[in-house]
Chains A and B, each alone.
Chain A
Amino acid sequence: MLRLLSFFLLCYFPCIAVAKPLVASMVAGPSSTSVNIDSSFNGTELFLFGARNDPGDIVMVVRGPQDAYVVRKKARVAGIWVNSDQVWFKDVDGFYAIASSRPLKEIRNTSLLNSLGISIDQLSDLLENKIVKNVKANQEGEFSTALFNDKQKHRLYPSTIEDISFFGETLFSAVIPFPENIPRGQYIAEIYLFNSGILSGYQSLPITVKKVGMDAFLFDFAYKHSFIYGVSAIILALFGGWAAGTFFRKAG
């Protein structure tokens, strides 16, 4: 009986010794859950920060609201360049940014990173999966590359991986640049903790990009009360024209 008890105790103790306390391996948050666009907006920076309780590297992906696109290729018809082949894309992220505390190659889990979409090289290939319709296009790859290049040119898709800096052993922060023409809508920041190539922590944060103030008012007005908006625009223009004429008449 005592032998049986001591046997069980022998099995049990190592488990207690090894079991960790229940603490998240990593926590993170943004400096603000919303990015406000007002009339003085000219691009901004998104600050993300956090703390890690376990060792490892932090990798972040920020994705923007999804849009649909059509990409058309020009071809020469009777000497003139005409839009010919067309490819339609759906559910494409309007914005994409990647940040990492260490070069992605050194994370040593390229296949997992690629499947999570954490790779600039893979992005244009991943866009191919978002093709929904195709008219006369032979090489779909060149259309997704064209879309990727266009996004990259407008700084909506990344050309480089952003830095994540550590302060001491646990605190980290990242800065994601937002260009001046970022789309409005719901963004998501996904933060991963990789320890020797193994994913050991994850958190996702919603971030909203919205218009505020006069801009928001005008935008809503243009959509909800289009007729009054249109008439007001006309009246303002007529007034402007009249005012200029009167002012100049008085001036001589």
Chain B
Amino acid sequence: MQIYLPIAEMPVNILVILLLGGFAGILSGLFGVGGGFLATPLLIFIGVPPAVAVSSSSNQIIAASFSGFLTHNRRKGVDFKMGFLLLVGGFFGSSLGVSLFTLLQKRGQIDLTISLIYVFFLGTIGTLMANESIKAILRKRRNLSAPKKKKENWLTRLNLPLKVHFPASNLEVSALLPITIGIIVGILMSLMGIGGGLIMVPAMIYLLRMPTSVVIGTSLFQVMFTSANVTLLQALNTHTVDIVLALLMLTGSAIGAQFGTRLGTVIPAEYQRAGLSFLILCIVIRLAFGLFVVPPNLFEIITLAQGM
């Protein structure tokens, strides 16, 4: 069954979009990520114009993250204090990122920058995460007792000002940490067009040393607001939010997020981290491949004006 999308200006198969959204939603509930990093490329693959894919993905991410957030919140899995500080940084960072995005777009180098950033950041995160989680899994298998969970790392040992107590995470760290992380994630979000959870979740686990039980809920809390911000900005500036496409996707992803959240409670934390790192590394390899291998089409054609 087909439907013609008003903004994308093309017909799509309803079932395909629902499944696409559902899959992104499962990842969302399971890992606390927005799912955008998967949904957006998949939409582009089926022929949706990239700008419409990014904006409409941001729209549906709101639904999936809100759905997952509500479930996590019911289980007391959200650190609102930390989330708020991350959010403050996030708004500053995403505004900065949007200006950077526009500048690169004018120079025609936006795709390359995005790919390089993805490869660098995700590559680092994925490798570190894979390393840590595999070690944790092996340790459990050999029935070795886990080393005392370090509440400190090199960052927290830096005597930074503005120390705040976060009861939900049982941490006491400088407020500057989440704000700075929020800013960096915000910039990356605007450049990569994703919900930010993919950077946020590892940052929370490894940099802030938050317990896994609150990481996902807090990440979803932040993703909700920032993707709402992106959706509004895109609707105002580029008019590329296709509400019909977003509605179809969010029907699938909101349901998928519910499944993902429940799945997350069953699977042990270190397997979740291993799974996420594996997914990240697959994406990184695919992107690096795209950068170094001769592209199938040497020419890129962009439509500039749209006849009204």
Chain A residues with CB below 8 A from B255, complex form: 244, 248
Residue contact A233 to B59, C-beta cutoff 8 Å: yes
Cβ contact of B247, chosen from A86, A211, A236, cutoff 8 A: A236
Q: Determine the distance from Cα of A229 to Cα of B246 in the docked complex, in whole angstroms.
A: 13
Residue contact A72 to B305, C-beta cutoff 8 Å: no
Size bracket of the A interface: 35 or more
Q: Does A222 contact B (CB under 8 A)?
A: yes
* Most-contacted residue by chain A among B71, B111, B236, B300 (CB, 10 A): B300
Residue contact B6 to A222, C-beta cutoff 8 Å: yes
Residue contact A243 to B62, C-beta cutoff 8 Å: no
Residue contact B63 to A244, C-beta cutoff 8 Å: yes
Residue contact A80 to B257, C-beta cutoff 8 Å: no
CB distance from A137 to the nearest CB of B (A): 11
Binds B, one of A19-27, A158-166, A168-176, A178-186: A178-186
Binds B, one of A37-45, A48-56, A198-206: A37-45
CB distance from A82 to the nearest CB of B (A): 5
Residue contact A181 to B301, C-beta cutoff 8 Å: no
A231-B2 contact in complex given A82-B109, A244-B63, A245-B71, C-beta closer than 8 Å = no
Residues 294-307 of B, flagged 1 when their CB comes within 8 A of A and 0 if not, give 11001111111111
Q: Does A214 contact B (CB under 8 A)?
A: yes
CB distance from A155 to the nearest CB of B (A): 12
Taking CB atoms and an 8 Å cut-off, the chain B residues in 1-39 that contact chain A are: 2-4, 6-7, 9-11
A241-B65 contact in complex given A83-B112, A222-B239, A248-B258, C-beta closer than 8 Å = yes
Residue contact A69 to B301, C-beta cutoff 8 Å: yes
Chain A residues with CB below 8 A from B3, complex form: 39-40
Cβ contact of A181, chosen from B10, B70, B302, cutoff 8 A: B10
A219-B6 contact in complex given A240-B63, A240-B254, A244-B258, C-beta closer than 8 Å = yes
Residue contact A150 to B307, C-beta cutoff 8 Å: no
Size bracket of the B interface: 35 or more
A94-B307 contact in complex given A222-B7, A230-B231, A243-B254, C-beta closer than 8 Å = yes
Taking CB atoms and an 8 Å cut-off, the chain B residues in 204-233 that contact chain A are: 228, 231-232
Chain B residues with CB below 8 A from A14, complex form: none
A184-B291 contact in complex given A66-B307, A150-B301, A238-B63, C-beta closer than 8 Å = no
Chain B residues with CB below 8 A from A72, complex form: 108, 299-300, 302
Residue contact A234 to B243, C-beta cutoff 8 Å: no
Q: Does A242 contact B (CB under 8 A)?
A: yes
Q: Does A71 contact B (CB under 8 A)?
A: yes
Q: Determine the distance from Cα of A176 to Cα of B65 in the docked complex, in whole angstroms.
A: 46
Q: Determine the distance from Cα of A223 to Cα of B243 in the docked complex, in whole angstroms.
A: 13
CB distance from B180 to the nearest CB of A (A): 27
Q: Does B308 contact A (CB under 8 A)?
A: yes
Residue contact A184 to B307, C-beta cutoff 8 Å: yes
Cβ contact of B305, chosen from A42, A68, A181, cutoff 8 A: A68
Q: Does A112 contact B (CB under 8 A)?
A: no
Residue contact A240 to B250, C-beta cutoff 8 Å: yes
Chain B residues with CB below 8 A from A241, complex form: 62-67, 69-70, 250, 254, 257
Q: Determine the distance from Cα of A142 to Cα of B291 in the docked complex, in whole angstroms.
A: 23
Q: Determine the distance from Cα of A226 to Cα of B243 in the docked complex, in whole angstroms.
A: 12
Residue contact B232 to A86, C-beta cutoff 8 Å: no
Chain B residues with CB below 8 A from A150, complex form: 299, 301
Q: Does A227 contact B (CB under 8 A)?
A: yes
Chain A residues with CB below 8 A from B293, complex form: 81
Taking CB atoms and an 8 Å cut-off, the chain A residues in 46-99 that contact chain B are: 65-74, 79-83, 86, 88, 94
CB distance from B45 to the nearest CB of A (A): 15
Residue contact B235 to A69, C-beta cutoff 8 Å: no
Q: Does B154 contact A (CB under 8 A)?
A: no
Residue contact B300 to A74, C-beta cutoff 8 Å: yes
Cβ contact of A215, chosen from B6, B232, B241, B291, cutoff 8 A: B6
* Residues of B participating in the A interface, judged by any CB pair closer than 8 Å: 2-4, 6-7, 9-11, 47, 59-60, 62-67, 69-71, 108-109, 111-112, 116, 228, 231-232, 234-236, 239, 241, 243-244, 246-247, 250-251, 254-255, 257-258, 291-295, 298-308
* Residues of A participating in the B interface, judged by any CB pair closer than 8 Å: 37-43, 65-74, 79-83, 86, 88, 94, 142-143, 146-147, 150, 180-181, 183-186, 211, 214-216, 218-219, 222-223, 226-227, 229-234, 236-238, 240-245, 248
The 17 sampled A-B contact pairs (Cβ below 8 Å) are A67-B303, A68-B303, A69-B303, A73-B298, A147-B301, A150-B299, A180-B4, A181-B9, A214-B6, A227-B236, A229-B235, A229-B241, A236-B247, A240-B247, A241-B62, A242-B70, A244-B67
